[in-house]
């Protein structure tokens, strides 16, 4: 059974992660979020649940303004071509529905099927804002605490300089740690 928002908050509390949640009407798209959030501070992000050509699963979390070249990003990560994961697969693996995809959903990936990929520039914002497993709220945490949460869920996030894969930017750049996920000491 998938974790509830209350389960998530208990897990954050148990990890000593400070979090602040704002409740709002359901949000399904970034444009809706921009219109409703007003002056909510920090980095606002979007999460993409992707499947590669060999059934590998990826959760790519970037600044909301990014327009990624997924083909180039997949090549950089050494993954076969990306496509979007189906809503049924998302529900099965992450326990969330479209519009509620979030790095917090890694709490539901006990089998560690998903590789989280984080936008390096996004991690420079304070705080970071994500849905807490539902799209009727936004929860803010620090970048360090987001990384700590992901590692506590058993995942090793890959941090990527996404400027290199933004359709508005130039291709180039590289993964932090030369494509290796950061270890606890790298945080």
User: What would the pLDDT profile of 118-144 be if each residue is shown by its tens digit?
Assistant: 999 999 999 999 999 998 888 999 999
- How much of the chain, in percent, has pLDDT values that exceed 90? 69
CA 114 to chain centre: 11
How far CA 95 is from CA of 60, 107, 178, in Å, comes to 16, 9, 31
Domains and CATH numbers, the chain: 5-186 (3.90.960.10)
Buried b (16+ CB within 10 A) or exposed e, 40-65: eebbbbbbbbbbbeeebbbbbbbbee
pLDDT of 158 reads 97
User: What would the pLDDT profile of 65-122 be if each residue is shown by its tens digit?
Assistant: 899 999 999 999 999 999 999 999 999 999 999 989 999 999 999 999 999 999 999 9
| pLDDT band, very low/low/confident/very high, at 36 (cuts 50, 70, 90) | low
pLDDT of 37 reads 56
């Amino acid at each position: 059974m998938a974790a509830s928002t209350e389960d998530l908050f208990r897990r954050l509390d148990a990890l000593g992660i400070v979090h602040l949640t704002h409740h709002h009407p359901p949000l399904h798209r970034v444009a809706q979020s921009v219109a409703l959030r007003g002056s909510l501070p920090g980095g606002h992000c979007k999460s993409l649940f992707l499947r590669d050509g060999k059934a590998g699963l990826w959760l790519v979390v970037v600044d909301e303004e990014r327009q990624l070249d997924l083909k180039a990003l997949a090549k950089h990560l050494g993954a076969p071509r990306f496509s979007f994961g189906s809503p049924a697969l998302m529900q099965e693996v992450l326990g969330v529905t479209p519009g509620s995809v979030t790095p917090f959903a890694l709490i539901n990936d006990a089998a560690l099927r998903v590789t989280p990929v984080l936008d390096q520039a996004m991690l420079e914002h304070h705080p970071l804002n994500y849905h807490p497993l539902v799209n009727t709220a936004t929860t803010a945490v620090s970048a360090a605490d987001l990384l700590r949460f992901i590692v506590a869920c058993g995942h090793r996030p890959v941090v990527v300089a996404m400027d290199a894969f933004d359709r508005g930017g130039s291709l180039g750049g590289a993964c932090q740690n030369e494509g290796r996920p950061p270890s606890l000491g790298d945080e």
